[in-house]
């Protein structure tokens, strides 16, 4: 299932040994054949990388970017790696089915996970790091604004919003909506909702929460570039405990206030609702004339396609 290669530095005194473990080598290879131009292009891109100070990332986490900017390399924690190993088979099946059937998805694709070990055979000192390679959603784009959206208003404001490389948060978007809202056409809005619906159903089914929707505003092309990122952490027992303690108020503070950590099912509901609210729809000639009924439901258009309207059926929308 996992492939491992080892080699030494070429020059004398050959005292450094390198080992690389490729997790799920065959599965990632099959996925890359559907997503990358060629395997050689993937290898060439990764052979030339530079350290990258990603905005909005966790402190002390290593980031790098390939020099051609196609791929992002991110350090993953042991907990994140263990979570991925638990749901890896479901991840590969979900993406394979989505790509084969054309079902909408906006998951940012993880294209490889590796453990790199560097050992000095003379001193015995060893450095080990787990790394994830993912597609760069903003590759080839001239974005003027970047948002990291979770659907929460708690601690989701970036006071320093100057500069093109600043990652803005939920409250920053809500602050600008009265004067500079993000509009989507009817077709684009429905496609986004379908993709978010499908992906959040999948993520909730594998007990994942705390993911974000990364949104880049490409004003040059009048397009949005987006994808769901940071979906490596499952809702483990410590998160269960933190949710219960904060919601109960036994450590002080008001009761019945939504905790910062919520269950995957609750996170899914909040995320769907927020993403539908954040992007406003501009009606066009294909917009249905009737008002969508309440309570929300999934209806069928005349062309047989689904209108994504129900809040929590958990079904995938094709």
Decide if domain 145-307 falls under CATH 3.90.1150.10.
Answer: no
| Consecutive H or E run containing 216 | strand 212-218
> Hey, what CATH topology would domain 3-135 get?
Phosphatidylinositol Phosphate Kinase II Beta (3.30.800)
pLDDT digits (tens, 9 = 90+) for 274-286: 999 999 998 766 5
| Consecutive H or E run containing 12 | none
pLDDT digits (tens, 9 = 90+) for 111-127: 999 999 999 888 889 99
pLDDT digits (tens, 9 = 90+) for 250-277: 544 445 555 557 889 999 999 999 999 9
What is the rounded average pLDDT of the residues 102-110? Answer: 96
Specify the domain boundaries for CATH 3.30.810.10 within the chain: 145-307
DSSP, res 266: H
Q: Residue 6's Cα: distance from chain center in Å?
A: 31
Residue of 243, 207, 242 whose CA lies nearest to 84: 207
- 226 vs 159 pLDDT, higher one: 226
Rounded CA separation 117/15 (Å): 14
Residue of 196, 202, 192 whose CA lies nearest to 264: 202
Rounded CA separation 165/168 (Å): 9
pLDDT digits (tens, 9 = 90+) for 181-238: 999 999 999 999 999 999 999 999 999 999 999 999 999 999 999 999 999 988 864 5
pLDDT digits (tens, 9 = 90+) for 25-81: 999 999 999 988 899 999 999 999 999 876 655 557 899 999 999 999 999 999 999
- Tokens for 111? 């294209």
Specify the domain boundaries for CATH 3.30.800.10 within the chain: 3-135
What is the rounded average pLDDT of the residues 157-170? Answer: 80
Note the pLDDT of residue 121.
84
What is the rounded average pLDDT of the residues 167-188? Answer: 93
**172 and 278 Cβ atoms separated by less than 8 Å:** no
Residue 159 confidence class, pLDDT cut points 50, 70, 90? confident
pLDDT at 84 over 60: yes
Number of neighbouring beta carbons within 10 Å of residue 310: 17
Query: Following DSSP, what letter does each residue of 126-156 receive, concatenated?
Result: EEEEEEEEEE-TTTT---SEEEEE-S--TT-
pLDDT digits (tens, 9 = 90+) for 288-318: 544 444 444 444 454 454 444 444 444 555 5
């Amino acid at each position: 299932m996992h492939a491992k290669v080892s080699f030494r530095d070429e020059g004398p005194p050959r005292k450094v040994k390198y080992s690389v473990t490729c997790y799920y080598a065959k599965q990632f290879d099959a996925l890359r054949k559907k997503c990358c131009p060629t395997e050689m292009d993937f290898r060439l891109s990764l052979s030339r990388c530079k350290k990258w100070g990603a905005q909005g990332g966790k402190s002390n986490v290593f980031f790098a970017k390939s020099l051609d900017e196609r791929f992002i390399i991110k350090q993953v924690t042991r907990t994140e790696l263990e979570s991925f190993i638990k749901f890896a088979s479901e991840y590969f099946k979900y993406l394979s089915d989505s790509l084969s059937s054309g079902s909408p998805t906006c998951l940012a694709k993880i294209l490889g996970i590796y453990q790199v070990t560097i050992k000095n055979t003379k001193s015995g000192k060893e450095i080990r790091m787990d790394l994830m390679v993912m597609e760069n959603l903003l590759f080839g784009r001239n974005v003027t604004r970047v948002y990291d959206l979770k659907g929460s208003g708690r601690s989701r404001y970036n006071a320093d919003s100057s500069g093109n490389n600043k990652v803005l948060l939920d409250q920053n978007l809500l602050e600008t909506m009265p004067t500079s809202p993000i509009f989507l056409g009817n077709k684009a809005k429905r496609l986004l909702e379908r993709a978010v619906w499908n992906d959040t159903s999948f993520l909730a089914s594998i007990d994942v929460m705390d993911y974000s929707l990364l949104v880049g505003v490409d004003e040059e092309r009048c397009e949005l570039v987006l994808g769901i990122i940071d979906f490596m952490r499952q809702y483990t027992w410590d998160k269960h405990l933190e949710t219960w303690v904060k919601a109960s108020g036994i450590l002080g503070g008001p009761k019945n206030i939504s905790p910062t950590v919520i269950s995957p099912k609750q996170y899914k509901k909040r995320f769907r609702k927020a993403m539908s609210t954040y992007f406003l729809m501009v009606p066009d000639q294909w917009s249905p004339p009737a008002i969508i009924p309440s309570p929300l439901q999934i209806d069928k258009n005349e062309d047989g396609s689904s209108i994504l309207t129900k809040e929590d059926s958990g079904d995938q929308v094709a």
